């Protein structure tokens, strides 16, 4: 079974222009008053002219693509409210009703249980088959313009890094006040390059990685995806005088090599839905990475792409800015160019570690034609309410652990205090990139007699961290850049997995671990190469210098941060290796040791 990877889309953007008039999701209208705007943007397309649209866009202070995206989301929001047909239940098929599901618009078949004949409608290539022809595919890259978009619009609130940045500023000799940017610019690592230690942020490593590979391509096009909160931190990285290049800036080095910067794309904070059901500026928020898929489609329709000459290919990638491994290798790029694939979604094998990302499934339109979709938890929950209680069990059995997401629209409710001190609820409208891409694929199939637009590239678990290594927590950052689990290659500017296919499952409950500095302190010098699972419940636990192997569980009921090596020494625990063991620290600070279950 597959899940969507952080390398969400790779594309030559060679979509058929015949689709232009059919992409109704790009043409939803509204006007300037927020209450009336809400009503009109929620209606079907074609009700308001471009002059009025321009006025409302200007009144909201949005650029063209962010306004188009708001229109898309409001159109989906209106449809979800008024349409009775949206109450229809989508049932996930299992082995018992698989035959019954075929051709039914109300049922979908997960790829995990689909037959070989049905899987023919899902063009999937396994990366191992590409790696086996690496030289052949790389021969195509000298004629490729490689357009790399890195997502650095969010500040990544899941990892607190104020104390961490204080330490980094001190090491770098910076006296400025702490300013949070993107995770990619804030998270720094000590990297050994030609015998010298350099402190580099992940965004800087991303740039250096592409510069090191640039000779393989006709040209590398750097494109930053930022927000008003993160744009300055990205520009600071580009303008930093690097000792690696005799004091030249990374912008200068890229230009000297013939590479270019395009963009940036700036993701705006847009109005949310207030308690009255209308758009409001009381809370503004970014609206998810669906924006970047809409931007890609819109750029194609508007012919607003980097120019290529005859014989050249334009291949773009969208990847996470804090994920150092989210750029496809040259054999994948060459594969797309040689096989002339218009659009590829990268998937990875779903594991117990994956809390996000839905199950790829096959649905059927009214003509009985197959299409590819993403099954999400929200659909299973709806099916339960509609008389299908088995759906949540099936969802869990398939390993589906997504957030509550509708296929086309995410409604994310947040609470915020107003100027009057009263807490109010706001609904943030968000969209997912994978959903936009698969809707486009479905439209293409319906238009061109079932021919697929989207191809899938599946990365097996042994290659997973070569292309998918997001930093979602402080422990991820520690594991990738401060432990024996990975090493940082100071010439390729990549992390190298020392135990492929076996990323540990880690659960750290206490808020203590949200601060990156606390995580690095807690596990300083710890060996985790052979760790399979780590669980720490209750208050924080410091484990510096210990070797963690197999399954290690700790329950700290003392209410205080505990230094485990000291406690082990007091209890005459021999050695520094903790293997398949469970510790309970009671309210008095006493330690009980048992075998891990």
Pairwise CA distance, residues 301 & 20, whole Å? 6
pLDDT above 60 for 116? yes
Nearest to 425 by CA among 272, 547, 576: 272
Decide if 173 is inside a domain: yes
Q: Is 414 left (phi over 0), alpha (psi -120 to 50) or beta?
A: beta
Decide if 37 is inside a domain: no
Same domain, 522 and 403: no
User: What per-residue confidence (pLDDT) applies to 82?
Assistant: 67
The string of pLDDT tens digits covering residues 259-288 is 999 989 999 999 999 988 899 988 888 888
Same domain, 458 and 519: no
Tokens of 513: 């671990």
Decide if 480 is inside a domain: no
Strands 9-11 and 313-320: antiparallel
Residue 422 or residue 354, greater confidence: 422
CATH of the domain at 460: 3.90.550
Same domain, 329 and 416: yes
Diameter over CA atoms, the chain: 79
Local structure of residue 527 (DSSP, 8 states): B
Decide if 256 is inside a domain: yes
User: What per-residue confidence (pLDDT) applies to 488?
Assistant: 96
Same domain, 390 and 501: no
Same domain, 461 and 498: no
Cα three-residue angle 489-490-492, rounded to 5 degrees: 65
Across 243-247, 450-454, 544-548, least confident range: 450-454
Same domain, 167 and 300: yes
According to DSSP, the residues that pair with 487 across neighbouring strands are: 496
pLDDT above 50 for 576? yes
CB neighbour list of residue 381: distance below 8 Å, 6 or more residues apart = 391, 392, 404
Pairwise CA distance, residues 119 & 125, whole Å? 12
Mean pLDDT of 568-587: 93
Residue 308 or residue 347, greater confidence: 308
Decide if 478 is inside a domain: no
According to DSSP, the residues that pair with 270 across neighbouring strands are: 285
The string of pLDDT tens digits covering residues 180-195 is 999 999 999 999 999 9
pLDDT above 80 for 142? yes
Q: Of 397, 431, 466, which residue constitutes the final position of a domain?
A: 466
User: What per-residue confidence (pLDDT) applies to 403?
Assistant: 24
Same domain, 454 and 508: no
* Helix, strand, coil percentages, rounded to 5, for the chain: 35, 30, 40
Pairwise CA distance, residues 429 & 432, whole Å? 11
Q: How confident is the model at residue 408 (pLDDT cuts 50, 70, 90)?
A: low
According to DSSP, the residues that pair with 10 across neighbouring strands are: 317, 344
Across 258-262, 388-392, 555-559, least confident range: 388-392
Q: How far is CA 44 from CA 50, 55, 272, in A?
A: 15, 19, 20
Contact, 186 vs 165, CB < 8 A? yes
User: What per-residue confidence (pLDDT) applies to 497?
Assistant: 97
pLDDT above 60 for 388? no
Across 40-54, 151-165, 166-180, least confident range: 40-54
User: What per-residue confidence (pLDDT) applies to 395?
Assistant: 36
- Start-to-end C-alpha separation, the chain: 28
Q: How confident is the model at residue 384 (pLDDT cuts 50, 70, 90)?
A: very low
Q: How far is CA 497 from CA 241, 462, 482, 485, in A?
A: 30, 10, 13, 6
Decide if 78 is inside a domain: no
Q: How far does CA 192 lie from the centroid of its chain?
A: 28
Same domain, 255 and 357: yes
Contact, 526 vs 557, CB < 8 A? no
Q: How confident is the model at residue 442 (pLDDT cuts 50, 70, 90)?
A: confident
Cα three-residue angle 39-40-41, rounded to 5 degrees: 100
Q: What share of the chain in percent tops pLDDT 70?
A: 82
pLDDT above 50 for 456? yes
Q: What's the order of all strands across the beta sheet hosting 91-92?
A: 91-92, 107-110, 359-364, 370-375
Q: How confident is the model at residue 114 (pLDDT cuts 50, 70, 90)?
A: confident
Strands 219-227 and 144-151: parallel
**Domain of 532, in residue numbers:** 492-595
Residue 352 or residue 258, greater confidence: 258
User: What per-residue confidence (pLDDT) applies to 378?
Assistant: 44
Decide if 482 is inside a domain: no
Decide if 85 is inside a domain: no
User: What per-residue confidence (pLDDT) applies to 435?
Assistant: 82
pLDDT above 60 for 571? yes
Across 144-153, 217-226, 412-421, least confident range: 412-421
pLDDT above 80 for 4? no
Same domain, 406 and 549: no
Domain tally for the chain? 2
Q: How far does CA 358 lie from the centroid of its chain?
A: 12
Local structure of residue 100 (DSSP, 8 states): H
Pairwise CA distance, residues 63 & 67, whole Å? 6
Q: What's the order of all strands across the beta sheet hosting 505-508?
A: 505-508, 531-538, 547-556, 577-585, 591-595
Pairwise CA distance, residues 293 & 13, whole Å? 11
Same domain, 414 and 285: yes
Nearest to 382 by CA among 87, 105, 56: 87
Three-state SS string over 233-253 comes to HHHHHHCCECHHHCCCEHHHH
| Helices and strands in the chain: count of H runs, count of E runs | 21, 28
Neighbours of 384 (CB within 10 A): 16
Pairwise CA distance, residues 149 & 56, whole Å? 29
CATH of the domain at 566: 2.160.10.10
Mean pLDDT of 513-527: 98
Pairwise CA distance, residues 199 & 391, whole Å? 49
- Give the predicted TM-score (pTM) of the model: 0.85
Contact, 426 vs 416, CB < 8 A? yes
C-alpha neighbours within 13 Å on the C-beta side of residue 423: 3
CA dihedral 462, 2, 138, 131 (to 10 degrees): 40
Q: How confident is the model at residue 5 (pLDDT cuts 50, 70, 90)?
A: very low
Same domain, 10 and 148: yes
Average pLDDT across the chain, whole number? 83
Residue 493 or residue 5, greater confidence: 493
Strands 196-201 and 279-285: unpaired
Same domain, 150 and 222: yes
Pairwise CA distance, residues 59 & 536, whole Å? 50
Contact, 515 vs 162, CB < 8 A? yes
Pairwise CA distance, residues 112 & 123, whole Å? 14
């Amino acid at each position: 079974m597959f899940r969507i990877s952080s390398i969400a889309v790779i594309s030559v953007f060679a979509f058929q222009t015949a689709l232009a008039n059919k992409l109704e999701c790009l043409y939803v209208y509204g006007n300037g008053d927020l209450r009336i705007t809400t009503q009109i943007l929620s209606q079907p397309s074609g009700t308001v002219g471009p002059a009025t649209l321009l006025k409302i866009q200007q009144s909201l202070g949005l650029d063209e693509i962010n306004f188009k995206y708001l229109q898309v989301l409001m159109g989906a929001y209106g449809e979800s409210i008024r349409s009775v047909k949206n109450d229809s239940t989508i049932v996930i098929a299992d082995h018992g009703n698989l035959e019954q599901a075929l051709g039914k618009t109300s049922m979908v078949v997960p790829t995990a249980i689909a037959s070989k004949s049905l899987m023919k409608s899902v063009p999937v290539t396994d990366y191992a088959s590409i790696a086996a022809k690496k030289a052949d595919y790389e021969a195509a890259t000298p004629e490729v313009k490689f357009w790399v978009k890195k997502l650095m619009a969010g500040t990544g609130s899941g990892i607190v890094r104020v104390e961490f940045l204080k330490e980094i500023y001190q090491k770098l000799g910076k006296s400025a006040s702490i300013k949070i940017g993107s995770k990619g610019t804030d998270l720094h690592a000590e990297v050994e390059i030609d015998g010298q230690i350099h402190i580099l942020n992940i965004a800087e490593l991303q740039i250096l990685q592409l510069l090191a590979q640039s000779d393989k391509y006709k040209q590398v096009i750097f494109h930053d995806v930022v927000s008003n909160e993160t744009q300055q931190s990205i520009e600071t990285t580009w303008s930093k005088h690097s000792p690696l290049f005799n004091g030249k800036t990374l912008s200068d080095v890229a230009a000297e090599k013939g590479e270019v910067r395009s963009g940036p794309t700036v993701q705006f904070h847009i109005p949310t839905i207030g308690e009255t059901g209308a758009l409001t500026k009381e809370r503004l928020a970014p609206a998810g990475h669906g924006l970047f898929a809409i931007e890609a489609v819109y750029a194609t329709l508007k012919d607003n792409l980097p120019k290529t000459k005859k014989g050249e290919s334009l291949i773009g990638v969208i990847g996470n800015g804090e994920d150092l491994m989210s750029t496809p290798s040259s054999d994948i790029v060459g594969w797309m160019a040689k096989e002339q694939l218009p659009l590829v979604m990268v998937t990875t094998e779903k594991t117990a570690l994956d809390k996000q990302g839905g199950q790829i499934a096959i649905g059927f339109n009214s003509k009985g034609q197959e299409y590819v979709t993403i099954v999400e938890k929200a659909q299973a929950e709806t099916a339960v309410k509609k008389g299908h209680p088995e759906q949540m069990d099936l969802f869990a059995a398939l390993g589906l652990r997504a957030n509550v997401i509708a296929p086309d629209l995410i409604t994310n409710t947040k609470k915020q205090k107003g100027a009057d001190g009263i807490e109010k609820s706001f609904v943030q409208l968000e969209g997912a990139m994978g959903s936009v891409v698969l809707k486009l694929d479905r439209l293409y199939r319906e238009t061109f007699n079932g021919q697929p637009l989207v191809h899938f590239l599946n990365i097996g678990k042994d290659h997973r961290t070569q292309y998918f290594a997001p930093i979602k927590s402080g422990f991820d950052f520690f594991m990738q850049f401060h432990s024996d689990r990975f090493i940082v290659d100071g010439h390729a500017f990549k992390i190298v997995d020392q135990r492929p296919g076996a990323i540990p499952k880690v659960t750290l409950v206490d808020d203590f671990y949200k601060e990156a500095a606390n995580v690095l302190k807690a596990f300083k010098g710890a060996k985790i190469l052979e760790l399979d699972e780590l669980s720490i419940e209750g208050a924080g636990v410091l484990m510096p210098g210990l070797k963690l192997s197999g399954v290690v569980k700790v329950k700290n009921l003392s209410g205080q941060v505990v230094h485990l090596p000291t406690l082990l020494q007091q209890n005459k625990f021999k050695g520094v290796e903790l293997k398949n063991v469970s510790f309970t620290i009671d309210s008095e600070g006493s330690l009980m040791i048992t075998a891990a279950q």
